[in-house]
Amino acid sequence: MNPQAKLIFIFSLLLGTTTTITSNHWITAWAGLEINTLSILPLISKSHHPRAIEAATKYFLTQATASALILFSSMTNAWHTGQWDITQMTHPTSCLILTSAVAMKLGMVPFHFWFPEVLQGSPLTTGLLLSTVMKFPPITLLFMTYHSLNPTLLTCMAIMSTALGGWMGLNQTQVRKILAFSSISHLGWMAIILSFNPKLTLLNFYLYVLMTSTVFLTLNTTKVLKLSTLITTWTKTPSLNAMLLLALLSLAGLPPLTGFLPKWLIIQELTKQSMAPAAT
């Protein structure tokens, strides 16, 4: 890809992300999401491989649908309340649609179908952007509207995401698909605590970005795409492979490592919420 073109796309990506996370009006937030979507598409399909083109098409269709739903929910809310402010989402139907739309943007269950396929068809560097930068604007929207979201729907989607992300990653041989299901599982952890302690969601997201970036950049350096090649790379770069092992264990949430901290705090917070129905 032409370096100037790549620079323009990356600048547009940062512009779209910044527009969404700093906006207070639904239209500017939606515009930022659209800029984001359009700027990542050429980076997904830059190899001109049929799988990459398929991934870009799937990504575009899903994100366009989710953006349209976000716009529809904000318009419905504005119709009933006269408010375009992001934090003033009060109409129940609008809140329900918004929860579904942002879940689709992020790739939470049951709207997860696109994410593993898109990540599998993308280069590793683009996969890193899809797993980290592209998730930041929707998570910011969740953070700003957490008091308005439908808690029952959000909790159900979160539990399903955590369970399905863990199960579906078990029988994969492609590293990018494993990381995609890991992302879905982590999103479940972030979403379930959102209604009770939003700051924990952000902590979980920041640590997830740190660990996932480490894994993606290491895989990109060693040019590993499958588990079979990952097994043999330790002979070439033993120190890098040791770092990758620690990063993967941290991503899994093994106790002494960093990835265990947010899970521990989330479980601790959830035990205080009395979420179980009262016994009769």
Torsion angle in degrees (nearest 10) through CA of 60, 211, 172, 228: 120
Instruction: Give Rg (Cα) of the chain.
Output: 19
* Mean pLDDT of all residues in 38-66: 93
Could you tell me which of 209, 166, 203, 211 has the C-alpha nearest to residue 184?
A: 166
C-alpha 276/C-alpha 216 separation (Å) is 38
Give the per-residue pLDDT at 228.
Answer: 87
Domains of the chain by residue range: 3-278
Least confident piece of the model among 150-154, 188-192, 264-268: 150-154
Give the per-residue pLDDT at 208.
Answer: 95
Phi and psi of 25, rounded to 5°? -120, 140
Q: What percent of the chain has pLDDT over 70?
A: 98
Residue 139 has pLDDT above 60, yes or no: yes
Give the per-residue pLDDT at 279.
Answer: 56
C-alpha 237/C-alpha 247 separation (Å) is 15
How large is the angle between the packed helices 260-271 and 175-194, nearest 10 degrees? 30
pLDDT class of 256 with cuts at 50, 70, 90: confident
Could you tell me which of 114, 121, 123 has the C-alpha nearest to residue 183?
A: 114
Q: Are 64 and 162 in contact (CB under 8 A)?
A: no
Long-range contacts of residues 225-229, Cβ cutoff 8 Å, at least 24 apart: 225/124, 225/174, 225/175, 225/176, 226/173, 226/174, 226/175, 227/173, 227/174, 227/175, 227/178, 228/173
* Mean pLDDT of all residues in 67-77: 94
Write down the mean pLDDT value for the chain: 91
Beta bridge partners of 210: none
Q: Are 132 and 212 in contact (CB under 8 A)?
A: yes
Residue 25, classed as helix, strand or coil, is strand
Q: Please state the pTM of the whole predicted model.
A: 0.92
pLDDT class of 210 with cuts at 50, 70, 90: very high
Model pLDDT for residues 261-280, shown as the tens digit of each residue: 999 999 999 998 877 665 55
C-alpha 163/C-alpha 186 separation (Å) is 10
C-alpha 91/C-alpha 73 separation (Å) is 9
Give the per-residue pLDDT at 151.
Answer: 83
Rounded to 5°, the CA angle 101-107-222 comes to: 150
Least confident piece of the model among 17-21, 129-133, 176-180, 275-279: 275-279
What's the longest Cα–Cα distance across the chain? 67
More confident residue, 21 or 275: 21
* Mean pLDDT of all residues in 149-157: 88
